[in-house]
């Protein structure tokens, strides 16, 4: 049945009222009876052998229930590479590495006990620079890398600090450069940055006498947490329950495992089955959760005079810090997007994920694509200038189209990039030259989604036609509960207020791969749609009998069942006897599973493969800036953002996703950088680390291109991540347009601009 107006409608968020009235219970608000407070002792050294940990005084402190160290839960976890212990074993690898934990009756006692733990270290030579870390003879962060279990699509190099090396080889790279009329090679970099969710990470673990354990956690990945904790605890998976608390933001910081292993290690040691909570302080959130990978990208590109892109040679190095976490995924994702949304016949790219003795790099809205696009879309403008072509024309000339083959060999479908570029350019009046010190720039986006991956859902219908959706998608503020409610309501033919989407809990909500990679609307949307269709089928079977019709002749909308094509008034669903009281019928319960078809892994040596991603996201953004040549300050005057998300389910929600991501993008372009000195995080609070406030957030003109995807629910793809990536290159290109200097190292600070202006002046003399 065609959508009836729920899909594509900006229905209010289902959780709005609770949130704006302050009644939402976030993870840190949760109090489990008899809960103990856990605190973590962290390494003061970037790299050192642990000689001895003496916890005896801490254990004797009244009010302390348990002290745990690396000797307690002697395991390593990691969903991609199993390289991380709950508490450090043998050695510490960064300043902030957990060495011991205390569970006590209150946070002060726990903190006091930390001070009583004595740790003897033997310092080891650290390595901070990822390029140096890749050199032979560099100090090894993980001597045993070769013995770690690794997901087989990743390729660590034992005996080095390389946690993953993703290779992309296509065409003949040298021939490509020979065929080019203009070649440019540059080095771009992005800094370490913080996700800064308003809610810090929190986890609570509680054991039962039977050995079962319940974990409440601010996680985007409940099923991953459960599987991994069951594995390390050597329990059947059904003995571990993960209940997701309401998240106050995630942005990738809360994917995979975070505090859960430490919480469990502490809770295991508590003798009277009291639950143990660990809640990060804001300071810990900065350096001891995860950060955005700093990157160093060497990029060489060649173009013909007519604007045909010919060759791209890239080396992008992701500094993952002390542990792999999502690093290998991020670097791989980046590698698969290496060309941006452009056709390039000859490509040679290496994407590295490298260990150093620094804070741990994790997933960050965009999975490595923002870092890549910074280099790629800056390069596009350099190429355009090199051949004297308008950067807009260069982009349009080389932009991918429906049916094109991607760099990996995939035939592309649902490709809205050209329309995005045009819309974004039009909206900032591209071609209309602005005044002095004003500039315009364009950036783009090309991003895969986690493939293969699966989502499942249940839909239960109540006897009044209202329903519950059981899904493990985590609504961390992005509005997934609203979107899934819309999809279920549309499919069932009921009002959105009559659908409740329940919060993820691995005991009851069925499997989902995880809330990340802009995959929920597509994957879980499909699962919910299917589950709702299954429920509707059952409803119609019951209704057909009662209405003396055939099930296939029925349709439902607005809570009523109609005979197809009849003009009669419908029968309210509440009048259908679902067998839940005295009478006929039977309860209505639907199930749905969306599973991406099998994908052949990409070839290790060439990165070639026909199905690396079920869908690709495309987008383009234009910005206009003004640069103050006296202060070096960049003012973002306007941002146009055009994104191909397949189909809008909730336009207002889509706009909000774009606005939020653009604001973060502006912060990353202009303001944010975690400063690490000799491994030590220097700025670790909101005074010293500046994120954009609502006053800094620019006006965003969000626009959408609906290149419907044949497998998406109502054609939808996703929109969680895209608007972050194009922001920085668009700003960088606009700054160049304004004042003729190109900053290659983010963030674009006033100091860098003043310095560049000064150098340029010197050159011009």
Residues that bind its own copies (CB under 8 A): 17-18, 21, 23, 25, 29-31, 33, 151-153, 208-210, 212, 223, 227, 230, 236-239, 273, 452, 454-456, 458, 460, 462-464, 466-468, 470, 497-500, 502, 505-511, 513, 578-587, 589-591, 593, 595, 598
State the minimum distance, in angstroms, from the CB of residue 140 to its own copies: 27
Of 194 and 220, the one with the shorter C-beta distance to its own copies is 220
Nearer to its own copies, 160 or 471 (CB): 471
Residue 385's closest CA among 184, 551, 194?
Answer: 184
Q: Of 273 and 686, which has the nearer Cβ to its own copies?
A: 273
Residue 14 CB, nearest distance to its own copies (Å)? 8
Rounded least distance, CB 233 to its own copies, Å: 12
Give whichever of 49 and 537 is closer to its own copies, judged by the CB atom.
537
Nearest to 321 by CA among 128, 138, 136, 135: 128
Return the structure tokens found at 66.
């348990």
Strand partners, 444: 620
Query: Residue 223 and residue 226: Cα distance in Å, rounded?
Result: 5
Question: Within 10 Å of residue 507's Cβ, how many Cβ atoms?
Answer: 11
| Least distance from its own copies to the Cβ atom of residue 479, Å | 15
- Residue 249 CB, nearest approach to its own copies (Å): 21
From the CB of 423, what's the least distance to its own copies, in Å? 36
Question: How far apart are the C-alpha atoms of 707 and 415, rounded to whole Å?
Answer: 6
Q: What are phi and psi of 295, to 5 degrees?
A: -135, 155
CB of 450 to its own copies, least distance (A): 9
Cβ–Cβ < 8 Å for 263, 203: yes
Alpha helices in 413-567 (DSSP H): 417-427, 480-492, 520-547
Distances, alpha carbon 96 to alpha carbons 43, 93, 455, in Å: 5, 9, 35
Q: Which is nearer to its own copies, 463 or 745 (CB)?
A: 463
Kindly state the smallest distance separating residue 586's Cβ from its own copies, in Å.
Answer: 4
CB of 601 to its own copies, least distance (A): 8
Distance set, CA 532 to CA 324, 461, 627, 638 (Å): 39, 9, 53, 42
CA atoms within 13 A on the CB side of 472: 27
Q: Comparing C-alpha atoms, which of 134, 615, 668, 136 is closest to residue 350? A: 134
Nearer Cβ to its own copies (535/674): 535
Residue 300's SS3 state is strand
Q: Is residue 380 a contact partner of residue 395, using CB atoms and an 8 Å limit? A: yes
Decide whether 210 or 567 has the Cβ nearer to its own copies.
210
Q: Which is nearer to its own copies, 436 or 584 (CB)?
A: 584
What's the min distance (Å) between Cβ of 171 and its own copies?
Answer: 28
Identify the H or E element spanning 759: helix 750-764
Q: Please say which residue, 506 or 664, places its beta carbon nearer to its own copies.
A: 506
User: Measured between alpha carbons, how far is 461 from 510 in angstroms, rounded to an integer?
Assistant: 17
Closer residue to its own copies, CB minimum distance, 16 or 187: 16
Smaller CB separation from its own copies, 62 or 152: 152
628 token code pair: 């103050």
DSSP per-residue string spanning 642-699: EEE-SS-SSHHHHHHHHHHHHHHHHHHHHT----EETTEE---STTTSPPP-TTTSPP
Helices (H) and strands (E) in the chain, counts: 17, 30
Could you tell me the smallest distance in angstroms from the CB atom of residue 24 to its own copies? 9
**Cα–Cα dist 522/711, whole Å:** 8
Burial annotation 189-214 (CB, 10 A radius, 16+ → b, else e): ebbbbbbbbebbbbbbbbbeeeeebb
CA dihedral 728, 731, 733, 739 (to 10 degrees): -140
Q: How far is the CB of 584 from its own copies (least distance, A)?
A: 5
Give whichever of 131 and 153 is closer to its own copies, judged by the CB atom. Answer: 153
Q: How far is CA 58 from CA 80, 100, 108, 109, 118, in A?
A: 35, 11, 13, 10, 9
- Range 582-601 burial, b when 16+ CB lie within 10 A, else e: eeebeebbbebebebeebee
> Least distance to its own copies from the beta carbon of 118, Å?
35
Q: Which residues contact 274 (CB under 8 A, 6 or more apart)?
A: 34, 35, 36, 65, 103, 206, 267
C-alpha span between 71 and 87 (Å, rounded):
8
Residue closer to its own copies by CB (options 550, 586) is 586
Distances (CA, A) of 400 to 37, 178, 418, 640: 53, 23, 7, 21
Nearer to its own copies, 567 or 581 (CB): 581
CB of 127 to its own copies, least distance (A): 30
* Nearest distance from C-beta of residue 144 to its own copies, angstroms: 23
Please report how close the Cβ of residue 281 comes to its own copies at its closest, in angstroms: 22
Q: Whose Cβ is closer to its own copies: residue 69's or residue 538's? A: 538
Structure tokens at 669: 């372009």
> Closer CB to its own copies, residue 1 or residue 17?
17
Rounded Cα gap, residues 189 and 208, in angstroms = 49
């Amino acid at each position: 049945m065609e959508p009836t107006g729920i899909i594509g409608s900006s229905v209010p968020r289902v959780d709005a009222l609770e949130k704006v009235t302050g009644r939402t219970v976030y993870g840190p608000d949760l109090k489990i009876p008899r809960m103990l407070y856990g605190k973590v002792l962290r390494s003061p050294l970037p790299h050192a052998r642990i000689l001895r940990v003496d916890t005896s005084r801490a254990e004797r402190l009244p009010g302390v229930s348990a002290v745990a160290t690396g000797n307690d839960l002697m395991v390593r976890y990691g969903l991609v590479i199993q390289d991380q212990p709950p508490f450090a074993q043998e050695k510490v690898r960064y300043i902030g590495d957990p060495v011991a934990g205390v569970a006590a009756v209150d946070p002060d006692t726990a903190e006091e006990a930390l001070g009583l733990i004595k740790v003897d270290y033997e310092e080891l030579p650290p390595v901070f620079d990822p390029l140096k870390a890749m050199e032979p003879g560099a100090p090894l962060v993980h001597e045993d890398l070769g013995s770690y279990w690794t997901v087989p699509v990743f390729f660590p190099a034992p005996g080095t600090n390389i946690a993953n090396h993703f290779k992309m080889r296509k065409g003949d790279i040298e021939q490509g450069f020979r065929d080019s009329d203009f070649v440019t090679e540059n080095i771009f970099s992005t800094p370490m940055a913080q996700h800064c969710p308003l809610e810090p990470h929190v986890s609570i673990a509680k054991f039962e006498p039977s050995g079962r354990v319940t974990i409440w956690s601010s996680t985007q990945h409940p099923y991953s947490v459960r599987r991994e904790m069951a594995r390390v605890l050597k329990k059947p998976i059904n003995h571990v329950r993960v209940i997701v608390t309401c998240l106050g933001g995630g942005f990738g910081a809360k994917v995979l495992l975070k505090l859960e292993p430490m919480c469990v290690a502490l809770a295991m040691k508590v003798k009277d089955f009291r639950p143990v909570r660990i809640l990060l302080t804001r300071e810990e959130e900065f350096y001891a959760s995860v950060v955005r990978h700093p990157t160093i990208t060497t990029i060489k590109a060649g173009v013909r005079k007519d604007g045909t892109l010919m060759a791209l040679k890239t080396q992008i190095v992701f500094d993952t810090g002390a542990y792999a976490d999502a690093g290998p995924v991020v670097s791989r994702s980046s590698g698969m997007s290496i060309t941006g949304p452009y056709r390039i016949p000859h490509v040679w790219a290496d994407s590295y994920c490298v260990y150093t003795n620094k804070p741990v790099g994790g997933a960050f809205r965009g999975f490595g694509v923002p870092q890549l696009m910074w280099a790629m879309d800056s390069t596009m403008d350099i190429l355009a200038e090199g051949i004297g072509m308008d950067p807009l024309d260069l982009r349009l000339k080389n932009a991918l189209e429906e049916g094109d083959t991607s760099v990996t060999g995939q035939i592309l479908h649902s490709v809205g990039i050209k329309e995005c570029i045009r819309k974004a350019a039009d909206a900032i009046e591209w071609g209309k030259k602005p005044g002095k010190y004003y500039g315009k720039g364009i950036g783009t986006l090309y991003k895969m989604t986690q493939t293969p991956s699966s989502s499942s859902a249940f839909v239960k219908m109540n006897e009044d036609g209202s329903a519950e959706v059981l899904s493990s998608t985590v609504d961390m503020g992005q509005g997934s509960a609203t979107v899934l409610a819309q999809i279920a309501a549309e499919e069932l033919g009921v009002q959105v207020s009559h659908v409740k989407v329940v919060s993820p809990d691995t005991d009851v909500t069925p499997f989902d791969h995880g809330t990340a990679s802009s995959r929920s609307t597509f994957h879980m949307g499909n699962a919910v749609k299917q589950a709702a269709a299954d429920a509707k089928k059952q409803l119609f079977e019951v209704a057909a009998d009662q209405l003396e019709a055939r099930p296939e002749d029925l349709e439902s909308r607005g809570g009523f069942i109609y005979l197809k094509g009849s003009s009669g008034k419908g029968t309210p669903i509440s009048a259908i006897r679902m067998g839940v009281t005295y009478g006929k019928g039977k309860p209505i319960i639907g199930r749905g599973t969306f599973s991406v078809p099998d994908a052949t892994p990409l070839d290790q040596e060439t990165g070639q493969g026909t199905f690396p991603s079920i869908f690709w996201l495309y987008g383009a953004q234009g910005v206009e800036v003004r640069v103050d040549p006296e202060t070096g300050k960049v003012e973002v005057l306007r941002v146009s953002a055009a994104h191909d998300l397949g189909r809008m389910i909730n336009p207002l929600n889509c706009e909000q996703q774009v606005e939020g991501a653009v604001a973060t993008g502006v912060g990353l372009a202009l303001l944010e950088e975690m400063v690490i000195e000799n491994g030590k995080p220097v700025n670790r609070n909101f005074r010293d680390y500046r994120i954009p406030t609502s006053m800094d957030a620019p006006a965003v003109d969000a626009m959408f291109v609906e290149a419907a995807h044949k497998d998406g629910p109502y054609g939808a793809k996703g929109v969680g991540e895209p608007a972050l990536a194009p922001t920085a290159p668009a700003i960088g290109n606009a700054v160049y347009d304004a004042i003729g200097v190109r900053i290659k190292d983010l963030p674009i600070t006033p100091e860098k601009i003043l310095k560049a202006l000064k150098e340029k002046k010197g050159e011009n003399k």
